[in-house]
Amino acid sequence: MGMTGGQMSQEMQACIQSCLNCHAICTQTVAYCLQMGGAHAEAGHIKALLDCAQTCITSADFMLRGSELHGRVCGLCAEACTRCAESCERIGASDQQMQACAQECRRCAQSCQRMAGIAALVNRADQACVSA
């Protein structure tokens, strides 16, 4: 799942990469939306993009450091990514940048949700071993 003997699982490596990709496209999309103006620059939409970008970079950081809290952060990231994807789809149904951003956000949400689920299973198993 996480880091075993200094080795990072393939799932975690993929999730980190997905988070970094999502951070990048959300950051680029903020600039694009501010340039476009109008509905693209609505405060709620910009906040969704920034929330997603920030939680993605934070999730990647927690995983890279091997933090025991990475699963919880990944769960939050999955939620932020889903909200951002929904906002991008609402604002720009026929806009290539918005669709690309929504697609990357959905990919990252799935990856982070898997990582959060794996972490929760490991934590429960660890607690069961301690309780026994």
CATH number of the domain to which 113 belongs: 1.20.1270.360
Assess if residue 115 is contained within a domain: yes
Q: What is the pLDDT of residue 1?
A: 43
Assess if residue 1 is contained within a domain: no
Assess if residue 5 is contained within a domain: no
Assess if residue 71 is contained within a domain: yes
Question: pLDDT tens digits, residue range 24-49?
Answer: 999 999 999 999 999 999 999 999 99
Assess if residue 81 is contained within a domain: yes
Assess if residue 22 is contained within a domain: yes
* 56: number of Cβ within 10 Å: 30
Assess if residue 2 is contained within a domain: no
- Greater model confidence, 128 or 33: 33
Exposure string of 71-91, with b = 16+ CB inside 10 Å and e = fewer, is: bbbbbebbbbbbbbbebbbeb
Question: pLDDT tens digits, residue range 58-109?
Answer: 999 999 999 999 999 999 999 999 999 999 999 988 999 999 999 999 999 9
Domain count, the chain: 1
Q: What is the pLDDT of residue 56?
A: 99
> What is the domain extent for residue 113?
10-131
Helix (H/G/I), strand (E/B), else coil: 3:
strand
pLDDT at 119 over 80: no
- Greater model confidence, 32 or 2: 32
Assess if residue 3 is contained within a domain: no
What's the pTM value of the predicted model, to 2 decimals?
0.86
